[in-house]
Structure 1
Amino acid sequence: MHMDDIVQQSTGPALTATVRPWARGVVIAPMGELDHDTAGILAAVLEEVLEVPEPWLLVDCGRLAFCDSTGLSLLLRARLAAERAGGRLDLAAPGPTLRWLLSLTGTTELFSIHRTPADARSAGTPGPGARRRDEPLGPSDHPAPVRPAQPAVDAAAR
């Protein structure tokens, strides 16, 4: 193997996305890092699949190694676009980074989140933007709670 081969292998896209149909819509499976530099790749895919009426998109996040605020913003915009078109956008298998980002930004409740793509396929068909809130993802699916600040000591009470 030559040095040129190594450089060519390492300069490939940091994000790829596959699209496949399923009974209720389309599964989009991004793989790699979703950030400022790569969001355009997924944006182009989402734009294309959002052209159908009443799109139901399932974003399979199981192979996302990383997602920053740009990636989350893209998912939020795509969710809104799907809902405006009478459809929905669900997430499946979000990893720790994406779960942490959703929790940190208070946007977890905006998505229907499924443990796996298979769970999404077997789920009922609630209306656009609906979320099964009665079924938590489980303790390992949420970031560790933040330790509360120590109460201030009242000087007058001493």
Structure 2
Amino acid sequence: MDRGLVGSGSRGRLRVDVQRHGASAVVKPAGELDYHTAELLRQPLEQCVADGLARLVVDCSELEFCDSTGLNVLLGARLKAEAAGGGVHLAAMLPVVARVFEITGAEAVFTVHDSLDAALIE
């Protein structure tokens, strides 16, 4: 397993796509979100808020793993988005990822949706 630095072989373990959907940014991480890949998600989340898109919808449908570092990235994004008048909405979490949020109690501080469509209509 590659445990290199961000920018090395680790980059292939997490892909992040960002699309604008009205007043929201839809951020879609795919792969493993952990200590080695967290910066790959932190940067686009912070850039969205800096660009005035404070309503962040994180499409978790292809997020296969999330550890405490990944959770902290999302919590940090939530604070920045809320400070800018928005928030972070999590959509379509796979059970393995949802379990991390359940165990830590983090699901209570995010708006969680069953699907991306549900997150976008609110």
TM-score normalised per structure 1: 0.68
Q: Give runs of ≥4 in structure 1 deviating > 3 Å.
A: none
What is the percentage of aligned positions where both structures have the same residue?
39
Tell me the residue number matched to 1:103: 102
Residues 104/55 of structure 1: CA separation in 2 closer, same or farther (3 Å cut): same
Listed one character per residue, the Cα deviations across residues 54-76 of structure 1 (whole Å, up to 9, x for unaligned) are 61010000000111111011101
Query: TM-score, structure 2 length as denominator?
Result: 0.87
Structure number with the higher strand fraction is 2
**Does residue 42 in structure 1 map to residue 41 in structure 2?**
yes
Secondary structure in 1 aligned to 2:26?
strand
User: Contact conserved, 1:15 with 1:38, CA < 8 A, in 2?
Assistant: yes
Deviation, 1:53, is 3.3
- Give the deviation of 1:44 after TM superposition: 1.1
User: Within 5 Å, which residues of 2 pair with 1:1-158?
Assistant: 13-53=12-52, 55-123=54-122
8 A Cα contact 1:54 1:86, kept in partner: no
CA offsets 1:81-102 (integer angstroms, 9 cap, x no match): 1001111110001111221111
* Contact 2:10 2:37 (8 Å CA) reproduced: no
Question: CA 1:20/1:36 → structure 2, altered by over 3 Å: closer, same or farther?
Answer: same
Name structure 2 gaps, 5 residues minimum.
1-8
Contact 1:53 1:86 in 2 (8 A): no
How far, CA to CA, are the matches of 1:77 and 1:14 in structure 2?
21
What is the Cα deviation at residue 106 of structure 1?
1.1
Give the gaps of 5 or more residues in structure 1.
1-9, 124-158
Bigger helix share = 2
* 1:21-61 superposed Cα distances (whole Å, 9 cap, x missing partner): 10231100001100000001111111211103361010000
How many residues are treated as equivalent by the alignment?
Answer: 114
Q: 1:111 to 1:13 in 2, by over 3 A?
A: same
